[in-house]
Structure 1
Amino acid sequence: MSPPRPRRRATAFVALLAATLAALVGCGDTGGLRGAGPTSTAISPERLWPSLTPASSPAFDIGEVDTAVVKGIAVPGDDIRKVNPVAVVRAEIDAAPGDYDGSKAPYRETGRRMADCGTGGDRSRCPVLASHYRDLTGDGRADLTLGFRQLPGELTAVRVYTVEKHRLVRVMEWDDAVSAVELAGRSVIIRSPSEVAGYEYRLQWTWDPQQKAMLLTHDEMLRTSPRNRPPHGSPSPSASSR
């Protein structure tokens, strides 16, 4: 007498399950689950020196909210792409002649080479780097990120400009020994060599709609991969910029 159909289904299911388990055991060495070892014990934060009087003002000024209207630069149709980046750098130089003009000026070579940025000049000597346009402020319009070399020396000036009330406004500035600059979302990321071999500084400036400026939101020291490490002897970030 044949067993009822439900028992046949159960028998087939058991056989299928046994075969599946056998297959899993057989391939355990090629992708099966493995233990990751013991889990470290969670340690809660510990506040040190609770009786210490909290500081009421910062010890150092790194220009977290340092914005300025660029005088003498018009923005046709509020389109920042129509602004001449070389003219913007010249406006900054004109605003600080002591830094760029004279034999004792720290960036005198930059001042001299600005003549090569114009018509008939040697563009390879122009200290102004290629400009980049991206909406960093979230208003749907492009903003301007530019850089120029601070010569003599190995510093690079990084600036971000936006348009407010028909005026060109600088919303971020930073001078440092720069390894790389990246734009990501609403942020500018600057990488700089470190005095410690195999490490680099990574600074991230992010747009803050309340302050209407790019704020320094991350300042880290990270290990670099061998292929990304700067050549031996590369300059370290200036003490005055940190």
Structure 2
Amino acid sequence: MNAARTRQAVPVVRGLRSHRAAVRAMALAIAVAGTAALLGGCAGAGAPESAGPAAAVTGPARLWPEHTPAPPPSPYRDGDSTPLPLRSLPKLADIRKVSAPSVVQAQRETDRRRGLLPYFDTDDEEKIRTCVTKPTARSCLVRAPEYHDLTGDGRDELIVGVDGGPSHLLTIWVYMLKDGVMNRILNIAQRTQAVEVADGKLIVREPTETPGYEVRTVYAWDAKSQVMTEESTEYDWRSPASAAPRGR
């Protein structure tokens, strides 16, 4: 902007009674002229331009509102709905005094007497029987026992994991001691990516067919039914680094 245009932008001030007032008026005039110059420069190249009026936002439109929605399904319960005692095992004062393979063998025999279908195929059954006498054998499908308080009573429960061979299913049974008798309070079989315990709850993470996603299921103690039930199921995103296989 040249000097001539600057002079024209400064308004003429008349009728001022003091030199100080004149200086103030001149400073104000210069500031106004500077602001006008800045605003005028905004119209140059690269200045932001309006994209036009924004599209109107509308709520979802329900399709076929005249049709009645389907009724809700029956409540889903995974595993045992009541605690199942293993009376074939001797009474115990300490849940750690019985081996995990012995518990699995007793559970299989108890289920067979109840007429339940076997959880494992013939080859896996033989490997499980071997675990009772050779718990450290490489062919043993029964994992090392885990002990955590899952009922909130201050005492540990026994968590047993049994691998399912080619099916890659992990059978998880949780037991508590009640009057010295082992009682199964959770019975699930899932294709797991990881199994965790947090805040007295059992968390099972399962892989999905969608890369980067997993299913996270939380099982919690239900004091009313005296078993562990499914509390929540989430479909979670996991970054490539955290989605790497972890210890189960």
Residue correspondence of structure 1 range 84-233 to structure 2 within 5 A: 84-97=99-112, 99=118, 107-119=121-133, 123-229=137-243
- Give the conservation status (yes or no) of the 8 Å contact 1:75–1:83: no
Matched residue type, 1:217: E
Q: Compute the TM-score of the two structures, normalised by the length of structure 2.
A: 0.63
4+ aligned runs moved over 6 Å, structure 1: 48-51
CA-CA distance at 1:92 after TM superposition: 2.2
Deviation per residue, 1:97-144 (Å, 9 max, x gap): 5526xxxxx522221112431445761110000111111111121111
In 1, Cα distance between equivalents of 2:213 and 2:234: 10
Deviation per residue, 1:40-76 (Å, 9 max, x gap): xxx9xx9x99975854x61755336343112301232
1:75 to 86, 91, 100: 91
Specify whether residues 49 and 190 from structure 1 end up closer, same or farther in structure 2 by C-alpha distance, changes over 3 A only.
farther
Specify whether residues 155 and 66 from structure 1 end up closer, same or farther in structure 2 by C-alpha distance, changes over 3 A only.
farther
The secondary structure found in structure 1 opposite 2:88 is coil
Q: Larger C-alpha radius of gyration, 1 or 2? A: 2
Structure 2's unaligned 5+ residue stretches are: 1-58
In 2, Cα distance between equivalents of 1:114 and 1:170: 18
- Give the conservation status (yes or no) of the 8 Å contact 1:193–1:230: no
- Give the conservation status (yes or no) of the 8 Å contact 1:180–1:190: yes
In 1, Cα distance between equivalents of 2:110 and 2:160: 17
User: Which residue of structure 2 lines up, in the alignment, with residue 62 of structure 1?
Assistant: 78
In 1, Cα distance between equivalents of 2:99 and 2:87: 14
CA-CA distance at 1:90 after TM superposition: 0.6
- Give the conservation status (yes or no) of the 8 Å contact 2:204–2:217: yes
Q: Work out the number of aligned pairs and report it.
A: 180
In 1, Cα distance between equivalents of 2:133 and 2:78: 37
In 2, Cα distance between equivalents of 1:193 and 1:171: 25
In 2, Cα distance between equivalents of 1:212 and 1:229: 34
Structure 1's unaligned 5+ residue stretches are: 1-42, 101-105, 232-242
- Give the conservation status (yes or no) of the 8 Å contact 1:156–1:178: yes
CA-CA distance at 1:165 after TM superposition: 2.3
- Give the conservation status (yes or no) of the 8 Å contact 1:188–1:204: yes
User: Which residue of structure 2 lines up, in the alignment, with residue 35 of structure 1?
Assistant: none
Specify whether residues 54 and 115 from structure 1 end up closer, same or farther in structure 2 by C-alpha distance, changes over 3 A only.
closer
Q: Compute the TM-score of the two structures, normalised by the length of structure 1.
A: 0.65
Matched residue type, 1:74: P
The secondary structure found in structure 2 opposite 1:123 is coil
CA RMSD of aligned residues (A): 2.9
- Percent identity between matched residues is 28
